[in-house]
Chain A
Amino acid sequence: MHPIRKQRLQIILLVLLFATLAAGLIIYVLGQNANFFYTPSQIKNDEYRKGSTLRVGGMVVEDSIKRFDETLAVEFTLTDGNAFIAVVFDGILPDLFAENEAAIATGVIKDSGELIASQVLAKHDENYTPPELIETMDYLKSTNYKNK
């Protein structure tokens, strides 16, 4: 082979090798840090990745918010109209967090079925519902859902 061509081939192989390694690394790290979104029904039916950090969204059930003494910890229930999930969060709740409003909790599900949340998101402002929850909230509205 012509030396210049040989050199070019080496460069191309090196670039390919490096690109493959980089792509592999990106896919791996992305997989580790991608948090999937689930509805309470999916959690109930075990349709989720166990052990990994995930996000669950729904409506905060009326009268479900309970505070612990002394700490900031708070417990509440999310629903999509068909299933419920209990969420425990030790931190400051967002400004527009309220009963009968949409919220998304990020965290890990324990064996007991509770979600231990590291972050809770609520509506952004009065006009905005998190995009993942628009369907759920519309469904709850359409069925005129009220917690009993």
Chain B
Amino acid sequence: MIAEIGQISLILALCTCVLMLITPILYTQFQNGIWLRLSRPLAVNHLLLILTSFICLTVCFLIDDFSVRYVAQNSNTLLPLVYKVSAVWGAHEGSLLLWMLVLGGWTAGVAFLGSKISAKFRSHMLSVLAIISLGFLLFLIFTSNPFERILPIAPEEGGDLNPLLQDFGLIIHPPLLYMGYVGLAVPFAFAIAVLISGTMEKEYIAWCRPWINIAWAFLTAGITLGSWWAYYELGWGGWWFWDPVENASLMPWLIATALMHSSSVTEKKGTIVTWTILLSIAAFSLSLLGTFLVRSGVLTSVHAFATDPERGVFLLVMLALFVGGSLFLFAFKGHKLASNQNANGWTRELLLVINNMLLVSMTIIVLIGTLYPLVSDILNLGKISVGPPYFDFFFVPTTVALAIFMGMSASSRWSTSNLSESMKRVILPLVICLISSIFVVFAIEAFSRNYSFSWSALITFIAVLWIFLTLIEDIHLKLRTKMVGVIKNKSFLGMTVAHCGLAILILGVGLSSAYSTQEDLRMKPGSSTYISGYRFNFRELNEIEGPNYSASQGVFDIYVGDNLRGSVAPEKRRYFSGRDVMTEAGIRTNLLKDIYISLGEPINNNEWSVRLYVKPMVRFIWIGGFLIAVGGIIASFNRRKS
């Protein structure tokens, strides 16, 4: 019964979408304002119906209704309660329902927080959001129905939620990521509405910018959390694998980052309007591409659940319609928005355009690396995979270039400023940053027996100090010239926090890859080994029982000299349902260094293969990512003069 209510709600939501979609047309037809006013209650109705459906599915999980196929496949009576709730979005159908719920939320947000835009413009935006919603609801109902029953005989017991996903990370990673992915639908709808109206008011882009910031901040948080989850849950100590699914989230993030910067130029200077519109379209298109890659089954990973050609074709057609349709509209209407002003001289505008070029280049590199294997397979040119060295080769220099220009932009002005003035301002930070970086890298080599000289560490220090010092120089100059107002501005504060976050992220990535030590070896209980100044003693091996698994647990003591610094207990878990095996790493951490141990497999009666890691600064990666997200949120609370 509950499943049927959920099903009917979805169908009603679909009907609401159709109404929301045609309100602007009805308004144009009858010139009656009632049609425009109708879009708000429709948006709320849409949200409530999807929410009802979502709650119904959650209840089905909570009461173990195994007659619902999706519940039977992804839950069982032994599953802890919290994972029964998170299992709702643990597989394909339910995660799409979450996608829809988030879209419903953003749509309702646009409907009610749109006081600065005209009712007509808003109804156009809602209409675009309704088309997106319509497409995904059709997809959900016809190819991925979460409420499908197993009739006539329901199984007594369900399958299991993939053990990798039985974790705190999974509870919040998809909702955060979807808030970002789907949130990019708002600037997309905005861009389409602008293209339809043919003009871009300054207040409109000012209205749109917080939406971009918030969606971007969620996307940042979602990706950061995913990386952290991969690090501790996949069990092998990596935090980014250049896996196509990760790339699928990185591409919209890079473009959304470019969009944040270009929209600030568009608001401040009224220029690069067409470019900003194009980026808005591109960001959501890449979001859809990501959904296609992850959900169609063309890729196999933790995120793809089953291969079903019907789903792939449906998503591909939808992707083509949205991207093709919006680019078609852009080709016909985009030129009307072009501004005649050209950027002159060494202004912040120019630097932000360079930032955009770099970010777009990075996106193209990821796009090619991600799609090339698919294209090659389709054209029968061979089955290939593109390894991390390809991505690293391009990302290291582009990131360094981004850092350099980021520092330059701190010392530039919106109004025309000349190059030599900017150069004068950066000489001091440059000199300090070069000297202290070289000093620090050699000091690390001289005073620590475990770390030798590393070029990547030197470059990392230079890039990071450069970002920090130019920021400090800028704040110092603003204080001296009594521009305190600017510093108190949320937009400036948000930018500073996010840029510091990026610097910390780069520090974490650079130093952890330069100074990490990894060793795979055989160990038996009682044996010891020395790595990077630590002695690891494999004290004992225990057999333990969890709620829905049994595990072998190794206990390792970590010594420096004769002093015990702590113990970790990595596990190898065997889940009761199915034959899944999971590696639970044992991690001991402080801010500056992680010690990471995972159990491989039993080699013979008493020996195990063991992976030992000493990873300095790895925490900085996620701290940095988190700060970047916080910066985005702060900036979106900026009050603008009306």
Contacts and interface: CB of A to CB of B under 8 A. Distances in A.
Interface of A: 22, 26, 29-30, 32-37, 53, 55, 67, 70-72, 91-93, 95-97, 124-126, 128, 130-132
B390 A33 contact: yes
Contact of A35 (B361, B385, B572): B385
A56 to B, nearest CB: 11
Given A29-B393, A92-B601, A130-B300, 17 more contacts: A26-B394, A29-B390, A29-B394, A30-B368, A30-B386, A36-B383, A36-B384, A53-B387, A67-B603, A67-B604, A72-B520, A91-B520, A93-B600, A95-B581, A95-B601, A125-B162, A131-B307
A95 B383 contact: no
A53 B389 CA distance: 12
17 contacts: A26-B368, A26-B394, A30-B390, A34-B373, A34-B384, A34-B385, A34-B390, A55-B385, A71-B522, A72-B609, A93-B601, A95-B601, A96-B579, A124-B302, A125-B162, A126-B578, A126-B579
B390 A132 contact: no
Q: Which of B368, B383, B572 has the most CB of A within 10 A?
A: B383
A30 B372 contact: yes
B609 A33 contact: no
A92 B382 contact: no
Interface string B309-351: 0000000000000000000000000000000000000000000
Contacts of A35: 384-387
B387 A126 contact: no
Interface string B350-393: 00000000000100010011001100100000111111011001
Contacts of A33: 386-387, 389-390, 393
B583 interface: yes
**Majority DSSP secondary structure for residues of B touching A:** mixed
Q: How large is the interface on B (under 10, 10 to 19, 20 to 34, 35 or more residues)?
A: 35 or more
B300 A128 contact: yes
Given A34-B385, A36-B384, A92-B520, A131 B300 contact: yes
Contacts of B390: 29-30, 32-34
Contacts of A22: 361
A55 B383 CA distance: 9
B382 A37 contact: yes
Contacts of A30: 368-369, 372, 386, 390
Contacts of A92: 520, 600-601, 609, 611
A126 B384 contact: no
A82 to B, nearest CB: 18
B580 interface: yes
Contacts of A95: 572, 581-583, 601
A113 B611 CA distance: 29
A97 B521 CA distance: 18
Contact of A34 (B372, B520, B572, B601): B372
A126 B385 CA distance: 23
B528 interface: no
B28 interface: no
Contacts of B580: 125-126
A96 B386 contact: no
Contacts of B609: 72, 92-93
Contacts of A37: 382-385
B456 interface: no
B416 interface: no
Contacts of B529: none
B448 interface: no
B392 to A, nearest CB: 9
Given A33-B386, A34-B384, A92-B601, A26 B365 contact: yes
B301 interface: yes
Contact of A36 (B361, B382, B578, B583): B382
A85 B604 CA distance: 25
Contacts of B382: 36-37
Sort A-B residue pairs by CB-CB distance and give the 6 closest, nearest first: A92-B600, A37-B383, A33-B390, A95-B581, A34-B384, A126-B578
